[in-house]
Amino acid sequence: MKIVFKNEWKKMKLSRLPLGTLLFLLALDIFLTIFLSLYAYPHSFMPKLNEIVTNFSLLFRTLIPIIFVINYFKEYQQKTIRAILVRPISKIQFLLSKFFTIVLYTIIAEILICIISFILTFTLNEFEYTYFIHYLPEFIVNLTNNFLQTIYILCLILLISVIFQSMYVSTASVVILFILNQVMNGSLYANTKVENILAFSPFGLTTLANPFKQNYYGFSYSLSSYFLQIAILCLYCIIVLAISSIIFNKKEIQV
């Protein structure tokens, strides 16, 4: 598995799309950081960082799954998947190596964006310890939510790709999940029984609550509800990965 993962990571580094996407995200990050530093929140840099993370979470949950879809179906389009599986590599190893490669890419991209945002924002603004402590928990939760939601959507896209074996269906699913994410984000803090139940559903967890954020009515999720959401999301990820592996292992490879 380790060798398979290394090979996939080499292919990822040599591919133009992941590198180009990362450079685009970094350039956009620099622009947003400078813009927000100059024209918004003039008294603290932590709110700016939270704003940047919030803006980038939407890009992460859209662009990174699309990168995964393109890399996954490239093996079929270039007819290299049979040659890969002829080696002593199981179908499950192949599938999981694709998945964990994009997970590593997500981690690296998020770390780079956070470092650049922090350095630029700190340079362009005065450091205020009180604001830093006040906004730090919300910032950490935003980062965690961004990463977990991206991984969960990747799991769902992986399952859809394995079932339908169609690049068009998988790409359309990314768009549908993006729309669903926006709908759930709008109703996440409604504090009604229906919305609270939906928040823990498989599709409702495409959006995670932030216990340090309140809506206009002063309602926010408790820490216990938030950690329950994370626990259920992790369980869903494991289940979806297991189902994807089983289905892919039983499918005939057609190129």
> Higher model confidence: residue 187 or residue 72?
72
- pLDDT-above-90 percentage for the chain: 24
Mean pLDDT over residues 7-11, rounded? 80
Q: Where are the domains of the chain?
A: 2-250
Q: Which residues contact 46 (CB under 8 A, 6 or more apart)?
A: 131, 132, 134, 135, 136, 139
Q: Taking 70 as the threshold, does the pLDDT of residue 219 lie above it?
A: no
Helix (H) / strand (E) containing 63: helix 46-77
- The DSSP 8-state label assigned to residue 206 in this structure reads G
Q: Are 1 and 96 spatial neighbours (Cβ–Cβ below 8 Å)?
A: yes
Q: Taking 90 as the threshold, does the pLDDT of residue 143 lie above it?
A: no
In tens, the pLDDT along 69-81 reads: 999 998 888 888 7
- State the CB neighbour count (10 A cutoff) for residue 15: 15
Q: Are 150 and 60 spatial neighbours (Cβ–Cβ below 8 Å)?
A: yes
In tens, the pLDDT along 30-58 reads: 887 787 777 765 556 667 677 777 777 77
Q: Which residues contact 53 (CB under 8 A, 6 or more apart)?
A: 114, 117, 139, 142, 143, 146
What is the reported pLDDT for 185?
66
* Positive or negative: CA dihedral 150, 6, 25, 70: negative
What is the reported pLDDT for 22?
87
